Amino acid sequence: MNLEVRLTSEPNRLWYRFIRYSNYMSAESSSDRRPLGRVFARLARLVERGLVSSGLSLAQYRVLAFLAEERSAAAASKLADRMSVTRPTITALIDGLVAKGLVTRDPVPSDRRRVSVALTPEGRRCLTTADRGIDAQLAVLTKHLDPAEHAVAIAGAERWGDALDRALLALMESQRGSRP
């Protein structure tokens, strides 16, 4: 299966895993190779170009994508933790998404200090538009790989995605263990 097909059909898109955990990405490379951080930054820029048609920033896209993964409303504090941003930052992001009609924000009845955030139908449509725009940008890039390179790129991306998932789980568990 080539990279173009995988990018548009993979339910847990590999590129999204890179963007989702961009705060945790760090890798050393040998002196004869490009620093991986720079490669990932260039890929992130490609993703940002794909977002133009949706009118979303990369941070807003990440919020919508997290909410879509949750399949139900999520606490704003949970979103902030998963994105590694402060509570005021997530509040500002949510404010912008509420103003666009892409998410709802409702108080949690059992705790007046907390709010629950959920995707609206328009938010789901916007996320689909964003996904398509990103897929189109990445499809242009994949045309510069031969079939053998496609396979290697996919395998490498899958390993990075697996490592990122495990690193995030470890971080979340350590944070949970350090709370009273």
pLDDT digits (tens, 9 = 90+) for 37-49: 898 899 899 999 9
Token pair 């945790």 in the structure block, residue: 24
**Does residue 62 contact residue 20 with C-beta atoms inside 8 Å?**
yes
Q: What is the CATH number of the domain that holds 153?
A: 1.10.10.10
Q: CA nearest 13: which of 57, 68, 60, 56?
A: 68
Number of domains in the chain: 1
For 74, the enclosing helix (H) or strand (E) is strand 74-75
pLDDT band at 83 (very low <50, low <70, confident <90, very high): confident
* Per-residue pLDDT at 45: 92
**Does residue 160 contact residue 18 with C-beta atoms inside 8 Å?**
yes
Token pair 């059909």 in the structure block, residue: 9
87-137 tens-digit pLDDT = 999 999 999 999 999 999 998 888 878 889 999 999 999 999 999 999 899
Region for residue 107 given its phi and psi (left: phi exceeds 0; alpha: psi -120 to 50; beta: otherwise) = beta
Token pair 């697996």 in the structure block, residue: 162
Mean pLDDT in residue range 139-157: 88
Position 141 pLDDT exceeds 90 = no
Per the structure, the complete domain to which residue 107 belongs is given by: 3-178
